[in-house]
Structure 1
């Protein structure tokens, strides 16, 4: 059986909450999931961030499955793939 395809998404916090600056999640219905996060439902981290008065914004999405979400999380350092944090692609090394 093929796992359902949805969207892996990265949320950027307006300011850090303790150690957290980002949240990575997966869903098959992105608009509904973002609406749930904005009301403090869903992920505990987003509920706490909302309660602390910290805003957030969707920064990036990728098509994929929960397996893809785990791959992105295992890579670590969500700020490395966050366009809001000013991540720019690596420049190719020039050969002399």
Structure 2
């Protein structure tokens, strides 16, 4: 979704029921989380989620943060999404 730079939306973390090759999570950003999750569920979202779905792997929303696309990039650059995932046993810090 295209939005002006600095727009605050939702950064979200999706947890896969089992890994797909190297990936066990997907991190994204949107201004409309419900619509974006519906797009992912319909196979019209990110390519990785479409491939995961085609492989018969389920997924679920694990965590959200308020933030900009810059925050999404920051989280992705830190790597190791499982470090942020409460479904992997991580307890998020209160913000």
- TM-score, with length taken from structure 2: 0.89
In structure 1, list runs of 5 or more residues that go unmatched.
91-96
Q: How many residues align?
A: 90
Question: In the TM superposition, what whole-angstrom CA distance separates every residue of 1:9-67 from its partner, at most 9, and x where no partner exists?
Answer: 00000000001000000000000000000011120000000101100000000000000
Output aligned runs, 1:38-49, within 5 Å: 38-49=41-52
Q: 1:85 to 1:3 in 2, by over 3 A?
A: same
In structure 2, list runs of 5 or more residues that go unmatched.
none
C-alpha distance in 1, partners of 2:21/2:77?
Answer: 20
Match of 2:20 in 1: 17
Match of 1:81 in 2: 84
C-alpha distance in 2, partners of 1:88/1:7?
Answer: 19
C-alpha distance in 2, partners of 1:22/1:87?
Answer: 14
* Aligned with residue 36 of structure 2, among 33, 36, 47: 33
